Amino acid sequence: MNGYLAGRDLLRVGAVLFGLFLVWRFLAEIAATALLLATGLLLAVALSGPVETLHRHKVPRPVASVLIALAAVIVLGLGGYLLLPVLMDQARQLISTAPSAFSQLGERVESLAGKLGLSVGSLEPPSASTLASWIRQLLGGVLGLFGSMASTLLGLLVVVFVPLYLVAVPDPVVGWVVRLFLPDRRDRAREVLSKVRVSLLGWLEGRLVSMAIVGVLSIGALYFIGIPGALFLGLLTGLVCFIPLIGPVISVFPPLLLGFAGNPIDALWVLLAYLGIQQVESNLLTPLIMQRAASVHPAVVIATVAAGGAAFGIMGALLAVPVVVVAGVLTKELWFRRLEEDPKVPEDGPSQRKVARS
């Protein structure tokens, strides 16, 4: 009898665990779909700027959307045709150089530790399987967004077609969202949506300009120092800088490793060059080109990027700051502005209420 009861208890525990697993997978799929849709919305906001410019010149939105998409494909195709051979050659060179550079770095660390009287284990370069595992974890995160070819193709379809449809025909979607509110508040809802779009568009424009300038400066600095693969590493630096504060920290490690393995002085020059570029970006470029975007405190950026990356991988890190920008605009428009404009709240606070009651 006791064995029968124990078996039933084990079955119940197993059923509960299986149910929790199914719930977790269901929530994971919902979160992955939400991330893809958020990426599509962000690209739609990015496309809405040039599409609105053409639409103001009497070009229909569908035609403007197709023209902008074709222009983007042509620019990317031409850039790939001109730069792809060089980038592939430099990427192969870096891949072949990385193990020896890592070994030389380990030897230098062991030598320095020996001079200081410290004992460290030998540093072995990571294997190809280890690197592939790291890259997969970086791309997929805990949700495995790119775990299979089918999910990757589905994600690309969503990211490509959702922005095009939203930009070409935005009125039905905007109208459906506005109809969720009471009739007397729909104009206010349209105003808030417009401010969210303007703020996001300003942030995107600022990030793209900043990425381009940082990439060009990084290519010039690495080429002048003599780091191999300067074009590839500089472009990678510009792309990774889309993630504020965290991206520059990640981008400095490959050239720093190559410089330290070849000549420690080169590593010092790389570190100084990247520090100088980031000072220019944070103190000169950001104040000039981010005036239209909502200001976000650096501590909030670090926390949200770290949390988004830990939870959802690189997709979460990429979307963390746009989500904070949208949340900041909504909080300002729907809460702070309401408190500041509420005539029932006296300017002098609770003390004024006590005087009025007396």
Distances 67 to 37, 158, 167, 169 between C-alpha atoms, Å: 23, 20, 12, 15
**Residue pLDDT, tens place only, 28-83:** 677 777 787 888 888 888 888 888 888 888 888 888 888 988 988 898 888 877 77
DSSP class of 292: S
Mean pLDDT of the chain: 76
pLDDT band at 358 (very low <50, low <70, confident <90, very high): very low
Structure tokens of 75?
């620019």
Distances 50 to 55, 66, 205, 242 between C-alpha atoms, Å: 9, 11, 11, 20
3-state secondary structure of 132: helix
pLDDT band at 216 (very low <50, low <70, confident <90, very high): very high
Tell me the Ramachandran region of residue 174: left when phi exceeds 0, alpha when psi lies from -120 to 50, beta otherwise: alpha
pLDDT band at 291 (very low <50, low <70, confident <90, very high): low
pLDDT-wise least confident of 54-58, 132-136, 316-320, 336-340:
132-136
The single-letter code of the amino acid at 253 is: F
Q: What is the pTM of this model?
A: 0.74
**Residue pLDDT, tens place only, 133-174:** 555 555 554 444 445 555 666 667 777 888 888 888 888 888
The angle subtended at Cα 52 by Cα 48 and Cα 58, nearest 5°, is 145
Alpha helices in 116-178 (DSSP H): 128-140, 149-168, 171-178
